[in-house]
Structure 1
Amino acid sequence: MSVYEDLVLGLNEAIAFAKGEQTGAIVHHIAVPIVDVAKIRAQTGLSQNAFARSIGVAKGTLLNWEQGRRQPTGPAQVLLAMIARKPSLVSELLRN
């Protein structure tokens, strides 16, 4: 099977799955916990500016998370959950 044919097959399977059809696709559900961003940042010992910069978000975004106006989602939520478990990740891996 060519790469093109494999891609078309995969896309057709994705479309069928999205329509609710049985496709044989394996679905993995991963639960990422809700995070307390202010607590996580405090554990790192960083200021709001430094923490926002270290995880690649605007300070305004961080403020919205800390004040509960918004919740981090997707990769940001996963990164924050990882930092919550090991606050030293910021200094070890995300150092600028």
Structure 2
Amino acid sequence: MTQFGDDLIQSLQEVAAYTKGEDVPGMVIHHAVSPSEVRKKAKLTQAEMAPLMGMSLSGYQKWEQGRRTVSGPAQTLLRVLEKNPKAVIDALAS
């Protein structure tokens, strides 16, 4: 079998193990972050949060309303905001 085939089989076995609740070393699972929960935890208004995310207020509100999907890079920024809002605010203010 080819290397690709071997890797594909290994990946499928890892997914199967994960779905059974087994620990899979090296597997990283990213869970979606709620924009509204992050914003509330940071004690920000929607009007304050939107520019931090680099978007309009209406675009940000669509995220919170579930009418727009949060992209991968935006999810990453939300995770950083969730962990350390001051660092993001300070970095974007300079």
**What TM-score do the two structures reach when normalised by structure 1?**
0.59
Residue in structure 2 matching 1:84, options 49, 60, 82: 82
Contact 1:55 / 1:94 at 8 angstroms: preserved in 2?
no
Instruction: Write the deviation string for residues 3-38 of structure 1: whole angstroms up to 9, x where unpaired.
Output: xxxxxxxxxxxxxxxxxx94xxxxxx8643201111
- Which one has more relative contact order, counting CA pairs under 8 Å at least 6 apart? 1
Q: CA deviation at 1:40?
A: 0.6
Instruction: In structure 2, list runs of 5 or more residues that go unmatched.
Output: 5-26
Q: 1:59 is aligned with what amino acid?
A: L
1:72 and 2:70 are equivalent in the alignment: yes
Give the equivalent residue in structure 1 for 2:38.
40
RMSD: 2.5
Please identify which structure carries the higher helix content: 2
- Amino acid corresponding to residue 53 of structure 1 in structure 2: P
In the superposition, the TM-score normalised over structure 2's length comes to 0.60
1-structure distance, mates of 2:91, 2:80:
12
Q: Which ranges of structure 1 fall in alignment gaps of 5 or more residues?
A: 1-20, 23-28
Paired residue type of 1:93: A
